[in-house]
Structure 1
Amino acid sequence: MVVLHEAGPVRSSRGGRPRDPSRDGVIRAAILRLLAEVGYSALTMDAVAAEAGVGKATIYRRWRTKHDLVVDTLSDINRAIAVPPDTGSVESDARALMDLVVTTVQSPAGAAIRSLLPAMQYQPTLVEAFRNGPLAVWRNAFAAMWARAEARGEVRAGMSGTVTAEAMSALIVQRWLLTGEPLDAAYVDEVFETVVRPLLRNARPAG
């Protein structure tokens, strides 16, 4: 599930009238919608202001440039991702995390990230923002899952960061970023049963 949390500390690099933090969520949601619709190149500060229903000064009090706006919003996506709780089983943990990835990539945030792929080729700060945002959430969640499973004796030590670990979400990410094919429940079920379950069985401790 993807939920919007309360806004964090206000960040501003400009003087003048204090910004209203209650508008942050509305503005960020507008940015994500526009990125998904028009992409990075066609995005403008004026369009963001119009989409969010605020004045241009409200946007410029937060960000000096379009690039700053997008990088900050992309880095901030991690606050909008709710990580599933410990279920007590590595298999149910794995399925919950797969659902988390699917829900995120099918959200406005996921559509916005996909629209940024062309710009990421020449804007390394966008790549860094993606790594520090949703990618960091996914990696940390999977690492915690493997640590819990190891502590319970369900898997052998050192599974986090292995090819097995990468494979658990690779097919979902491939459809999201490359092929554009549907990520429906039937597909996720098939991936879980035919790929993830066998991987988890092979990850069990020897003996």
Structure 2
Amino acid sequence: MDASRDAAIASAVLEVLGRAGYAGLTMDAVALAAGVGKATIYRRWSSKAELLLSVLDVVGAPVLEVPDTGGRRDDLVTVLSEVVTLVGGPSGRALRSLLGAVVDDPALQEGCCRLPLANWDAAWSAVLARAVARGEVPAGAGESVAAEVGPAVLVLRWLVTGRPLDGTVVPELVDRVVLPLLRCR
């Protein structure tokens, strides 16, 4: 097997997933986008779920930088703004279509949670742990439901309502919702 084709196939998987969604992610569509024969793909992977999980393992997920601005508000705004940037890009479109399919497929669910969502959760948790260590939020705040509100609102807008995620959403979300809830914890 020609390993040079793996990168083209991985890129094609993400492109097709972002454009056509999980339902449109077919071996034919990936082969066409990658410029390879369908047999090339089937020699490596027996199903589209196996192909997708393999690509996620190789490509990984965008890793959020864990900001350290010196204060909880700016750290929270920065990490949530990075999420907004990522979900607005090509990997965000691919992930959005994948999240709709994970509900009914335990293997996809595990793969998605292992990579993109785990990376984002780790960055958010690190920011909150640093705020606890600096005494800016009460101990245990990072493990509370209140800590889930910021990312949850972004995901709701991104996946469900389609309402805009622009530069004004994150500061308002942090100032009016996240910080008051964390302080009340």
* Alignment TM-score, normalising by the size of structure 1: 0.77
Distance 1:188 1:46, change over 3 A: same
Counterpart of 2:175 (choices 174, 193, 198) is 193
Cα deviation, residue 67, structure 1: 1.3
Aligned pair partner of 1:63 in 45, 56, 76: 45
1:137: Cα distance to partner? 0.8
State the identity as a percent: 47
1:153 corresponds in structure 2 to: 135
Q: Give the equivalent residue in structure 1 for 2:27.
A: 45
Partner residue in 2 for 1:167: 149
> Is 1:91–1:200's contact at 8 Å kept on the other side of the alignment?
no
Number of the residue aligned with 2:91:
109
Q: Is the 8 A contact 2:26 2:48 kept in 1?
A: yes
Provide the residue aligned with 1:124 in structure 2: 106
Structure number with higher helix proportion: 2
Alpha carbons 1:74, 1:129 under 8 Å: kept: yes
List gaps (5 residues or longer) in structure 1: 1-16
- Whole-Å Cα distance in 1 between the matches of residues 142 and 6 of structure 2? 35
Aligned residue in 2 for 1:73: 55
Compute the RMSD of aligned alpha carbons. Answer: 2.4
Aligned-pair distance for 1:200?
Answer: 4.5
In structure 2, the CA distance between the partners of 1:150 and 1:118, relative to structure 1 (3 Å rule), is closer
Change (3 A) 1:189 1:148: closer
Query: CA 1:183 to 1:25, structure 2 compared with 1: closer, same or farther past 3 Å?
Result: farther
State the alpha-carbon separation in 2 of the partners of residues 116 and 109 from structure 1: 10
Say if 2:3 is the partner of 1:19. Answer: yes
Deviation (angstroms), 1:178: 0.8
Look up the equivalent residue of 2:120 and give its one-letter code.
Answer: W
Q: Count the aligned residue pairs.
A: 185
- 3-state SS of the aligned residue for 1:40? coil
Give, in angstroms, the shift of residue 41 of structure 1.
Answer: 2.2
Structure 1 residue 131 displacement after superposition:
0.7
Partner Cα separation in structure 1 for residue 183 and residue 139 of structure 2: 14
* TM-score normalised per structure 2: 0.85
Deviation of 1:98 (Å):
0.4
Gaps of at least 5 residues in structure 2 are: none
